[in-house]
Amino acid sequence: MTESTGTWLTQEAFDRLQAEYDQLVNVGRVEIAKEIDERRSEGDLKENGGYHAAREEQAKMEARIEQLRHMLRTATVGESADDGTIGSGTVVTAEVMGREMRFLVGSREVAGGTDIDVFSAQSPLGAALMGRKAGEETAYTAPNGKEITVKVLAAEPFTG
């Protein structure tokens, strides 16, 4: 499997997402079904705000379950390289259009609760940086058609 066919995840991120999936499937579904049944017994469903809110919550939960199921099924699990080469799971410090930026090449799921900016390996910036090292320059075409030059200042594995 290549990075372009699935989400790259660290083992820690994979385990965290698997636990969330298991909780939603085994506990969340039971709880929301019970909530819907309780609200349904309150009477007229047309004017029952609690019932409609519970059904909306159920739809959101099912969407998240499906998102997690797909992500876990297609995930590439591994650790980022520690050789200075940019790949998924690498924190990059780069000069982009004269401005220094620090971001993770990977997925938001790997970043977890951190506030680091994330660019996927498939994004124009991420794709341009894959395989590069500190000191190298590259360029990519922004969605507006403008050519953007990027100078890699540092590349290190994401540690969370």
DSSP string, 18-82: HHHHHHIIIIIHHHHHHHHHHHHTTS-STT-HHHHHHHHHHHHHHHHHHHHHHHHHH-EE----S
State pLDDT tens for residues 16-55. Answer: 889 999 999 999 999 999 999 988 888 777 778 888 899 9
Sign of CA dihedral 12, 14, 15, 17: positive
Domain ranges of the chain: 8-77, 90-157
Fold of the 90-157 domain: Chitinase A; domain 3 (3.10.50)
State pLDDT tens for residues 79-134. Answer: 766 777 898 888 999 999 889 999 998 888 877 777 888 888 888 999 999 999 99
CATH for 8-77, options being 1.10.287.180, 1.10.10.1100, 3.40.50.300, 3.20.20.70: 1.10.287.180
Please tell me the pTM assigned to this model. Answer: 0.65
